[in-house]
Structure 1
Amino acid sequence: MKKMLIGTVAAIAIAGLASPAAAQTNQLHYDGVQGFLLPSTLTNPGLIQAGQAELSVLGGIGTRYTANAGALGNVGNVGPVDVAFNLSGTVSKDCSFYAGNNASATNLDFGTIGILAGNNVNVTDAFEMVGPAVAIVTSATAGCNFSNVVKIEKDSAAGMVNQATGLSYDSNQFQANIPYRVHAAWTGVADGAGNVPGGPQQLDVSDSALSNTNNQGAWRSGMILTFTAPVAAKALVAGSYASTTHLTLTAL
C-alpha cells in the first residue's frame, strides 16, 4: 500500500507540472485484477465497470503499473538562430619614404666636378669633365598602401644649371648645364596587376627628360635612387651648378 501511494503521488505531481503541454508518457496497466459487484442503484445499476480494476488492487487482488512523464512547453518561438554582425572600419591612404632625420640628408653635393685643367692638354679636351658624377640614395622604407603614382621630376630638363647670371661663352665649345639621369628601383606590383607577388620595379628619367611616372599597386620595400651625370658633351663654364629633383609617391 505504501508503494502504491508513492506512485500515485508522483504521477499526480508530474501530471500537474506538465499541464501546459501534452504528456510525453502516460501509461496505466493492470494485471490479475477482478471485478467487484456493488449494490445496484438507479444511477449505478449492476457491476460498475469504471474503476473496478483499481478497486481490485485496493482490495489486495492484482497489481497496477503507471508511468507518467511531462515537462513545461516552450516559451517563445522554436527554430534556428541567424544573427548577422556587421563589422566595419576605415584604413587611411598613406605613402611613405624615409629621407633621413633632417634636410641635410637630401643635399647631394658632388663637391668639385673635375675638369681637365692645366696647359698640357689638347685644346679639344681642355675644361671638359674628367668623368661622370654619380650619387646613390638608399631608403629602407618606402611605399604606399593603395594604388599610387611614383613620379620623378627635375626642375629643369637641362639638369644642373650654372647659377651665375649674364654668362657669356662660346656655345660651340662650352655649356653651362650638366645633364643627368635618374634611376629608381624597388619591389612592387604594377597597378591593375591584381593580388600577385611583388617583383622588381623601376622608373627612369633620361638625361634629356624632365619627368616620368610609374603607376603602382600597393607596395612597400626599400628604394634605391641613382643620379648619374655623364661626361658633358662640351667644356664646362666655371661656376656653381644646381638642380632639384622631386620624388613623389601619391595614393590615387
Structure 2
Amino acid sequence: MKKMLCGAVAAIALVGIAAPAAAQTNERHYAGTIVGIPYTSTNPNGFQTGLLELGLLGGIGTRYTAQADAPSDSETATPTVNVQFSLSGRVNKDCSFYAGNNANATNIDFGVIGVRTGNNENVNSAFEMVGPATAEIESLTAGCNFNNEVVITKSNVNGMVNAAAGGYDTDEFQANIPYSVAARWTGVAQNAVTSGTAQSLTVSTSQLNGTKTQGAWRSSMNIDIVAPAITNKGLVAGTYTGTTTLTLRAL
C-alpha cells in the first residue's frame, strides 16, 4: 500500500470483514488550487480522472489513493453447520442355559425304580412299579435375547427303554417306562413387547416332542420329569435309558 502524508500524521485502520462480504477499499482523492480557487475531487469518474491526472503532470494539485485486496472465501460461507452422525452397532443373537459345571450335572439317575417284589403280592400286582419316578431340575439362568423357540425332544416316544429286555409276555410285562416333561419359565409371546408372564411347555407321556415360540426372555427355568407308576403290567428287569433334549433356539 502506498500513502502520501502532507503536513499531518495519518492513522491507518486495518479492518477484516468476516461476514457479510463487503466491497474492498478503492479510494482516489484529488486536491489543489487553480487560479486561486481550491478544489477537491473524491473518486472521480474516468473523464474527470484524466483531467486531474493532466493537472498533476502540469504541477497542479495532489492525489491520494488507497486500494485493498484479499482473496475471497474458498467456498460459500456457512454461518450455521448441521452435522448428523449415524450411530450403529450389533448385538449377536444368543441363548443361554446354565446346566451345571460338568456332564454329571445333566445325568439324571433315578437309581432303583422300585417294583413290587413281595412273594405275598397278588399276581396282578407283581413286578409293577411301586410309585412314580420323578426328577426336578432348576436353572436360575436361562433365556434368549431375540425371538426364539423352546423345544423339548425325547429320544423315544416310548420313554425310557430297556434295550436288553430278553423275552417276555407282552400281555403281562413291558420294557419301557413312559414319562412326561414340563418346563416352566417367565417370558413373552413372539414379537410381543410387554411384561413377562408365566410360560410353560409340556410334552406328555405319549408325545415325542413339543415347541413353544417366544420373544426375548430371561428367567429361571424349572423342568419336571414324571414317569407315572405303571400298574397294569410288570416291568422287565434291566436298565432303562432315554434322553431328553432342551433346545433354546434364536430365530
Q: Tell me the SS of whatever aligns to 1:201.
A: strand
Matched, 1:104 2:97: no
Counterpart for residue 234 of structure 2: 235
TM-score of the superposition, structure 2-length normalised?
A: 0.72
Distance 1:169 1:186, change over 3 A: same
- Counterpart of 1:83 in structure 2 is 83
2:174 equivalent in structure 1: 175
Q: Residue by residue, what CA displacement relative to the aligned partner does 1:164-212 show, whole Å, maximum 9, x if unpaired?
A: 15x222212211110000000111111132x211111111000010000
**Aligned position for 2:28:** none
Corresponding position of 1:157: 157
Distance (Å, rounded) in 2 between the aligned partners of 1:214 and 1:79: 59
Q: Give the SS at the match of 1:116.
A: coil
Residue in structure 2 matched with residue 57 of structure 1 by the alignment: none
Which of 207, 213, 216 aligns to 1:215? It is: 213
Which string of whole-angstrom CA distances, capped at 9 and with x for unpartnered residues, describes residues 103-150 of structure 1?
111111111111111111211111111111100111111111111111
CA distance in 1, matches of 2:16, 2:143: 71
Q: With structure 1 as the length reference, what TM-score do the two structures score?
A: 0.72
**1:17-66, Cα deviation, whole Å (9 max, x unpaired):** 2578659xxxxxxxxxxxxxxxx853x64x8799xxxxxxxxxxxxxxxx
Alignment partner, residue 224 of structure 2:
226
CA–CA distance in structure 1, aligned partners of residues 40 and 143 of structure 2: 97
| Aligned twin of 1:55 | none
Aligned to 1:185: 184
Q: What amino acid maps onto 1:220 in structure 2?
A: R
| Paired position in structure 2 for 1:113 | 113
CA distance in 1, matches of 2:249, 2:147: 9
1:130 corresponding residue in structure 2: 130
| Distance in 1 between residues matched to 2:213 and 2:133, nearest whole Å | 29
Q: How does 1:55-70 map to 2 (within 5 A)?
A: none
For residue 154 of structure 1, what is the amino acid of its counterpart? K
CA positional deviation for 1:99: 0.7
Cα RMSD for the two superposed structures: 2.8
Q: CA deviation at 1:86?
A: 2.0
1:182 alignment partner, SS class: strand
Give the structure 1 partner of residue 57 of structure 2.
none
- Give the equivalent residue in structure 2 for 1:197: 195
Gaps of 5+ in 2: 1-7, 24-32, 42-69
84-93 vs 236-245, which moves further:
84-93
Give the SS at the match of 1:105. helix
Unaligned runs of at least 5 residues, structure 1:
24-39, 51-71
Which stretches of structure 1, 4 residues or longer, exceed 6 Å deviation after superposition?
Answer: 47-50
Q: Residue 64 of structure 1 corresponds to which residue in structure 2? A: none
Q: Distance in 2 between matches of 1:191 and 1:109?
A: 35
- Structure 2 letter corresponding to 1:129: M
Higher helix share: 1
